[in-house]
Every structure is written in structure tokens, then in C-alpha cells.
Structure 1
Amino acid sequence: MPLDKVWFWSEGGTGKAKLGIINAASTEPLDGYKYYHDLFLKYGVLSATRIPIDVNHTSAAHDQNVVRLIKQQTGFFFGGGDQYRVVQTFLSSNGVPSPAVVAIKEMFAKGAVVAGTSAGTTCQTGRIMVRSGMSWEALRYGAHDGYNPSHSNYLVYHPYGGIGMLDKFVLDSHFSQRGREGRMIALLAETVDKPLGSPFGIGIDENTALVITHAGTDIINGKIIGEHGVTFFDLSSAHYDKAQNYFSIRNVYLHYLTHGDNIGLQKLNITFSASKRPMNGHEVYTHSLNSSDIFDGDRHSHGRKPEFVRVATSVFDATLDRTTYGETYEKNPAFKVFLSATGREAGGWVERKSDFHTDITSYKNLYVEIHAKGN
């Protein structure tokens, strides 16, 4: 199964780790537990114990026997499914943490690992939590704090946030593969003024992990491991023009980091892997690429990089162009996404492989604007 993870890394190790498996996001918590149980035992944990909290057993989050079980673990893993089930199970309706959440945070403070995949990643945020939606619909219809089954592709978020393991950042998963860049930009722009809003977001690709150390300190750090990458969004200086008929924003900055790269999450200072070299002066192509379906993800990629990553990377790897654009496939309106690698110390780094699509590429400070086409 595709894994996109956020890990808060600390102590434990092969033959020592006692892992609490939390499968509250799943519609089949027991089946999911068995899968994760066997997987983690295969990779050497001492024990993999089910923490029996899910939407069918919400009272367990307040059960002192369960709290004691939590305090016997050296790490916790949140499985995939629907992140809203996790907050329904672990938090009150207005976001107050249950004794189970308090216990997990207490163990984390003592050195326990907290990790999650898919919905188990997204729910870790201490900021607003994305629930659903597609990029074009997010740009066209905005962000909503309640789900409407008549509009299943609308951008929906939970205003009281996730379980609060990572502050500052809104989190999302399956990221580039599902073309969620527009969704994240719209979500951050539309909710930054909310009590739990933030101008900063993180999108984690499939088969990729963001390993976080020193959480809660000024030296908090993220390291990327895995097959694809992690996108970091900075809208702290963005201008979101609400006077326009359709979504319009400028001064958005993105970083896309891949295996071996590090980022200081306090100030977003980046260190690229020693295996990579700057593209500047060593570009392979003449012109950058563009797209007629910029948020396509990898649905039609046929072995190529996901569409937004493909186009964005190309502006760092072309000798003659430092700007390009992509458009949404959907119309009424079509949105145009302008990308530039010309400002604020923008740069691309690469570990060359056989071709453009297998090269391991990263970049920092990609400038982004989005406007309805014709505006």
C-alpha cells in the first residue's frame, strides 16, 4: 500500500520498541490492526499492541485502563482511512483533547515516537485539518467547514484542528500524486485568519516520509526519506485578492524536498542532500514545460513525475526559461498557475539518474501565482 508518513522520531529500536497501533481512521479497525501488527513485527519491534479506540469505541479514549496501556508503549502509529474519524474519536466536538491524547503527548514528551500514514499523517496537525476536496473545486468554490454530500469534491476542513502533535503547519498526504497543490494554497489562504489557521502547509507524497526531530523546540528539523518528495508552502507574504470574482493570489512560495534533504521547520532553512548538485549552470534542457492539466497528479503520468512537480522542476532545469505556467483542465473558469524561479534565492538541486523523470530533484523558493484565466 502507498505510505506517506510523518514521523516524530525519538527512541526505541529493533527488539526494544513497544508500538501502540491506533487504527481509528479506518472503517475496519481490526483488519487494519492485523496488517500493521504483522508488518511492524516483521521489521523488528518487540510488540505491536492495539490501542482499542475507534468510532465504535469512543468512550475508550476516556478509559483509565486504556490510558495505562498507552503509557506502557514507546511509540504510536496512526493508520490510514478518514482523518475526521480520528478527531471524532480522540477529541471533543470543539477540539478538547481526551485523556488518551493527553497520555500520548505525555509519552511523546518522554521520548516516544509518534508516526502516521495517510489520514494518520493529516490528523497530527495542531492547526485546521483538511478533510476532503479537489484542487479546482477548492479554487472555484472556496473552503467549507462542513461536509455537503451533494458536493463531494468541495474543499472541507475541520476548524478545531487535529490531535495537535505538530503545530504551525497544516498537513496533507498522497500529495503530488493527487494534485493537491491548489487545494493546499486555497485552504491556507481562506483560513489563515481563523483561530487555528496558518500560512504554512506541508504536503507529503506517497512512499515518502518526513522525519521530524526536536519537535516543540527552536531547532525542530525535518528530514525527507523515501521515493518522492515533500512540499512546503509559505503564504506568510502572500496577497490573496478577495475583491476578484474568482480565486486570485500572488507571493506564494514553495519548496519541494526529496530523499536526504533537511529543513529547519522553525525558519524553513534548507540543506540539500550531499548527493545532489545545483542545477544552475548545469541545466539539461533548453525550455521549461507547461501543462493543460496542472493538478492532474499522476493519474495520466505513465511513469513521469506528477504533473505539478514535472512543470515546476522544469523551470530550474532549463537554460533559457525561468518562468512557466500551467492551466487547470476544468473550465468556467480555468485557472492559470504562474511559476517562477527568478527570485528570493530560488534554486534547484538534483541527483542525476537516467532521465528527467528518474532524476531525484528538489527546489526551494518557487514563486507561485494563481488567477482565473483572462483576469
Structure 2
Amino acid sequence: MQRIFHKILIFLSFALIAYNGYGQPHITEQIEVELVSETTNVVPGETLWLGIRLDPIEHWHTYWKFGGDSGVATFTSEWQIPDGVQVGDIVWPIPEWTPFLGSELVTFTYEREIYLPLPITVPADFDEDFFNLATKIDWQVCEEICIPGSAVFSLSLPIGDTFKIDERWVAGFSESRQLTPTPIGEHNLVTQFNIHDGKVNIMAQAFDAEFDGVDEAYFFPTERRIMKYAPYRKVTLDGNRIQISTEQHRRYPEDLNELDGTLKLIDEDGSWRAFDIAPVLTNIAWDHSIEVELLAETTNIVPGQKTWLGIRLDPAEHWHTYWKMGGDSGEPTSLSEWLAPEGTQIDELQFPAPHWLPFYETDLVNFGYEEEVLLPIAVTIPESYE
């Protein structure tokens, strides 16, 4: 009888642990790591949200999905899950731009407690009483040195008809969702980039007041060897446009036509917003005063025949460009340092009729264009070009 009673107690103990779904945190001198569930139960046919909770001590940090100049992102492996269950990708909250101890290195980090949400899809026909899973989590926590770590975590949750929120983790999941970048396809930003004078220029244009109140902006790429993050970094905030310029990496891939990354905005009140973006390569260049682009009238070139190119100049309001003679002041647009096949004939730049532009309340007058203008130029490559 006593032996049966002991067996019942052991069974009830395991059942209680399984019902509570408690996973044990892994604690080191530098960090506390834990696998948690947003809910205390699982609903078949619905998505269960787990969270990797990373809580480093003061002055230490973990890494975003791409660490920047150094660092390894947190990742999972060796999942033990029921048949038919699918594990989604980690949803990465907005990272921090972290210069590394007075050097020219910059890392993309979390210098705070962070929850990394992770979706688990449970099949509708799941018919067990409890949902059991286990996974290995690897992380890296750094200050002046980096310490890698890993541990196996497990959870056991009962099955229910509706989700029951675990109040312990409400704040953590809520903050992570508030700091999740708006995905591509759910915003209307137009993003491009160009390479000019050894600089990588990321350009974003908004149409729905997304940039109102922005005080600072960062671009976090997800690939190496695109740009140097320091010491040069210039941000131009121009109404509905933002440009972020950094030095080109010495190993920049010459065939790169598209980037992938996150645009982080810090508003005047200190709050953060972000958008996942995929800037495409363009000939357009601009600053706060003008947008410039080299265009071709046709999509191809026929050797021996003229091809018309055009320089598109689009000055900002109250700004202007100049005709071939600027009047009392100003220099015209010009072209130089052509890179073209040997024997290519390049004609002179053509200037449409200009406007008469009195210079404020003076006796000076300029000749130019206060609106968008296209300056044509004819180019002929040799008939023998192959």
C-alpha cells in the first residue's frame, strides 16, 4: 500500500511540473538564458509562441541576427518535437548600434534583457494530453571578451481549447512585438542604394508620413563586407527622404544589385521604429538639395548608331540648377571622367531653354532651372564594337 502511495505521489509531482510548463533558466556569471512559452497551454491547429529570454549583466550584450563587425547570433538546434510540428524562424527585435571600445568596429547587439519570439505550428490533429518539446540553444555574450554558451531546454504544456496567457512573460513578449520591424510588403517605403566616391549610400523615401519626427536613423545590413560602419557615417534627414552614407568595404562585391537589412528610426521623443528593407542598386544620387540620375532613352545600344542618354536634375523646393551659362553667377552641370569603350564618340551636353532667375532683391540675374529638367547627350559606340 505504501509503495502504491509513493508511486501516486511521484506521478502527481511529474503531472504538476508538466502542467505548469516550467523550464529551468540557465544562469552563468554573465547571463541568464531561458526558454519560455507565451501561454500556459497549447491549442492544436494554432501557433504557439515561444521566447528565448536573454538577460545579460550590466555592460554585457548578446547579438542580433547579424553581429556586424563581430559576434554570433543566438540560434536553436537539435529540436525534439512531436510529428507534424513545425518550428519557424526567430523574429528579431530592433537591435542597438554598438561601437566597440574606441575602435572603428561596430556590432549589432542587445545590451538589455530581450525576448526572441519563435513560432511553433501545432497540427490540428494533435491528440496527446501534453505537448513536450526540447531544443538546444547556443548564444554568445560579450563585453571586452566574448563567451559562448549553450544548453538544452525543455517545456511540457497541457492541451486546451483556448490559449491561456502566462502573465510572467506578458511584458517581455509585448516589448519584443513593439520593437519588431515592419516586414517588407507591409510598408510603402521605396529604398535604393548607390556606390559613389567610395561610399555606400542607402536611400529611403516615404509617402505616408513614416519619417515625421525622426531624429536619427541607422541601416543594419544582414551581410558582411558591404560597408564600414565607422568612423564615417553621415545621415541626411530631408522631409520624406532619408539617406545614410558609410564607407564602402574594401571587399565589396562588385556584382551586388540588392541589399537586405533593417532601417531603424529614433524619433525626437526617443522611441524606436524600424522597417525591413531591400534597397536596389540605382544610378540616382541625392542630398538635401537635389536628386540626380543618369538615364538612357533605350534599353539597349546599337553599335554605330547614336544612343541618347539624359541627366535628370530634380532640385528641392527653392533650389535651382544652371543653364550652360549661369548668368551673373553659377556653374553649369558638366560631365567628365567617362568610362566607355575605346573609340566611343560623346557629344556635347544639350541644355533646354532656361528660366530667368532674379537673385533675391539684388541686380543679379541667373539663368537656370527651378524644376526637374532632363539634359540630353548623344553617345555613339564604334560600329566594330562586339
Q: TM-score range by the shorter chain?
A: under 0.3
Structure (1/2) with the larger helix percentage: 1
Structure (1/2) with the larger strand percentage: 2
TM-score, structure 1 as length reference = 0.26
